[in-house]
Every structure is written in C-alpha cells, then in structure tokens.
A and B are shown apart, each in its own frame.
Chain A
Amino acid sequence: MATEAHGAEEGGLVFHPMDQFIVKPLFGQGDVGAFTITNVTLWMALTVVAIIALLVFGTSRRAIVPTRSQSIAEMIYGFVYKMVEDVTGKDGVKYFPYIMTLFMFILVSNFLGLIPGAFTTTSHIAVTGVLAMFVFLAVTILGFVINGFGFLGLFWVSSAPLALRPILALIEVISYFVRPVSHSIRLAGNMMAGHAVIKVFAGFAAIAAISPLSIVAITAMYGLEILVSGIQAYVFAILTCVYLKDALHPSH
C-alpha cells in the first residue's frame, strides 16, 4: 500500500490495486533471484516470529490457569486438534503437526497481510500452489503407501450401478487432480481479491466527494477480510484433513 501515492500525483484516477502484490528486493534494486532477500522473505520471517511469539513464548509459563496468550495458543491447538481428530479419525492424529503447520502459516500470513502496507504472502499462487501440491503429493503417496493399490478404490464407487462406475471413476479421477488447483486458487484468489478491492476503494478516496463513502467501504471490506482470513485458513486446513481421510480410508 506504500506505493499508492503516485496515483494521486497524476491528478486523475489511476488505480494500482495490484502493486501491493509485487515481489521486490528489500535492499537495493535488481532482479529477484532464488535467494534474494525480498519482501516475501520479510513477511514470512514475521509470520515465523508471530507464530513463535504466540505458541512458544505465549505458553512459556505452562500455567495451569492460562494467561491470555496461552489461552489463545491452547484454543488454536484444541481447535485444530479436534478438527483433525473429527475428520480423519484417531489414526490421523499423528499428522496433526503438519496440518497445524499449514494452518498456522496461512492464518498468521493472512492476518499479517491485513496490516496496512503489509505484503500478503498467501495472495500469491506460487505460495498457495506449493502448499496445495505439498498436500496433494503427501496425500497421494500416503494413500498408496498405506493402502497399496487399494487406494485406487477411492475412484471406484462400489455403491453405484456397475454400468455407471467407469464414468464415475473418470469423474472421480478428474476431480482428484483438480483438487490442488482449487485448493490453491481458492486461498490465493480470496486473499488477492479482498486486498485489491480495498485498494480500489482507497483509490476512490482521492475524490473528495466520495472519500467518506470510500472510507466506510474500506472499513466494511476490512472487517470482511478479517473474517475471510480466518475462514480461508480454516477451509484450507479442513480440506487437507478431508483429503488425508481419503488417503487413510479410501473406501467410500
């Protein structure tokens, strides 16, 4: 959002709602290499710091009667743990740390991205795509390792009439491979759209007559975005659990 100013200088209404998503080096100019320290690095590091602050330092007293930060950490822990247990069953609980990692990363990244001027790492398809592919590959490999070729039973709907099964199997296979795409684009799209809309409203604020309305709209969108940030992290995590359940118990 720091790059907003130059639109107004031109006198007209020039929107740059996508400028906030540009990946650029933190120090100096130049190309973005694989290991260049960029704003991505900064905001991911802040995500790690925030997670450590909440889950490690927040719980350092190990109090029986929890402090506020410990309560929050315990609440998130209990929430994710219960979700994993409810969706995947008892044998899915050993994958809880992985799902917790995904959930915490997305949740904290989403919320940090709501800070004005922040860079939202989860609005990038590269980031969410890697997360989704990670889930997809892990679930697929796990499915074959645990169930052998029985994992293919996931695509063979035994409750359907025999004639329909090959067609259903085709649909199931397609839907299976679409999963990582929808999984990643849902998250990135939600984050990007919300931030871009806020930015467009912010651009309208340059016109004095509309600016009060613009501010109201930004406030409303910001509230909605807070909701979306939490919900998208939850959706990503629960879909991961659902996919994991398919790997653990492939029969319909």
Chain B
Amino acid sequence: MATDTHGAETESAGGMPQLDFSTFDNQIVWLLITLVVIYFVLSRIALPRIGSVLAERAGTITNDISAAEDLKQQAIDAEAAYEKALVDARAEAGRIVGETKASIQADLDKAIAKADAEIAARAAEGEKAIAAIRESANESAGTVAKDIAKDIVSAVAPSKIDAKSITAAVTAKMKG
C-alpha cells in the first residue's frame, strides 16, 4: 500500500487518507455546517413535532382508557339501576295485586252485605205480605164460617138464632 506503483495516479492513497492533514479544514468546515443544519432541523421542527405526536398519543390513550372506564362504570350503574327497578316493579306489582285483591274483596263484601240486606228486606216484606194474606184469609174464612154457621143454625133451629154466640163459638173454634 505504502509503495505507490501508479506514479501519475493521484487517487491512490499513500498511507492513510485519514491522516492527510491538508483535507482536515475542508472536512471540519463541512462537518460544522452539517451539524448546525441538523441541529436546527431537529430542534426546531422534528423533535417538537415527534414529541407532540407522542404526547398527543399518550393523551389520547389515557383519555380513551378513562372513557372506557367511565362507560364501564355507567354500564355497572345501569345494571344496578335495572336490578333495582326490577325489584321495585316486583314489589309494586305485589302491592297492586294486594290492593286490588283487598278492594275487590271489600266491594264483594259490600255487595254481599247489600244483597243480604236486600234479601232480608224482601223476605221480611214477603213474610209481611204472607202474614197479611193469611190474616185476611183467616178473617175471610171466619166471616164465611160465621155466615155459614148462621145459615146452618137458622136452617136447623131458627128459633135459637143468636148471632153473638154463634160468632164467639166460631171464633173459639177457629183459634182452637
């Protein structure tokens, strides 16, 4: 390597090109320019942008997780509310059934009582009517019996006709 066999060949390295100090200033100048450019591109544009994107993503994920937790809590609450509503509805239904039963029973009792009272009234009326009819029948039967007794007496023994005693006798006979 060290022996330069090419003579006119200027591109061949006679040793390490890294130690060719004549190119150092050139490399250093371009390196500094490059570093400054990269630094400004990174610090002004790239890094803030990537940082904000990462922060935004982290925020979004956190928000989503908390939103999911909220929704889960809501679902649990809704389930509890549903269960409670169900229990309430059952209790309410039981209460309504009881109330309705009671009111129906009350109505029924009332109606029965009314009907009983009516029946009793009708029966009393009927008995009264029957009593009246029996009374009048007795009376009529008494009258007829007296008349007939008078007629029989007058026909059998016209001399001994005594209306008063005949009536008393008939009445006593009917009562007996």
Contact = CB atoms under 8 A, between A and B. Distances in A.
Interface of B is mostly: helix
A216 interface: no
A124 interface: yes
B22 A48 contact: no
Given A22-B11, A32-B26, A56-B46, A74 B1 contact: no
A40 B26 contact: yes
Contacts of B54: 74, 77-78
Given A59-B50, A59-B53, A74-B50, A19 B22 contact: no
Contacts of B28: 126-127, 130
Contacts of B49: 56, 59, 62
Contacts of B30: 38, 40-41, 44
B5 A14 contact: yes
A178 B39 CA distance: 27
Interface in B1-55: 1, 5-6, 9-13, 15-20, 22-35, 37-39, 41-43, 45-47, 49-54
B44 to A, nearest CB: 9
A167 to B, nearest CB: 35
B57 interface: yes
B88 interface: no
B27 A48 contact: no
Given A19-B12, A101-B38, A104-B42, A32 B22 contact: yes
A15 interface: yes
Contacts of A188: 18
Contacts of A36: 26
Nearest 4 interchain pairs by C-beta: A55-B46, A23-B23, A21-B17, A44-B34
26 contacts: A18-B17, A22-B17, A22-B20, A23-B27, A24-B11, A33-B25, A35-B26, A38-B23, A38-B26, A38-B30, A48-B38, A55-B47, A56-B41, A59-B53, A63-B53, A73-B46, A104-B38, A104-B42, A105-B38, A123-B18, A124-B18, A126-B24, A127-B27, A127-B31, A130-B31, A130-B32
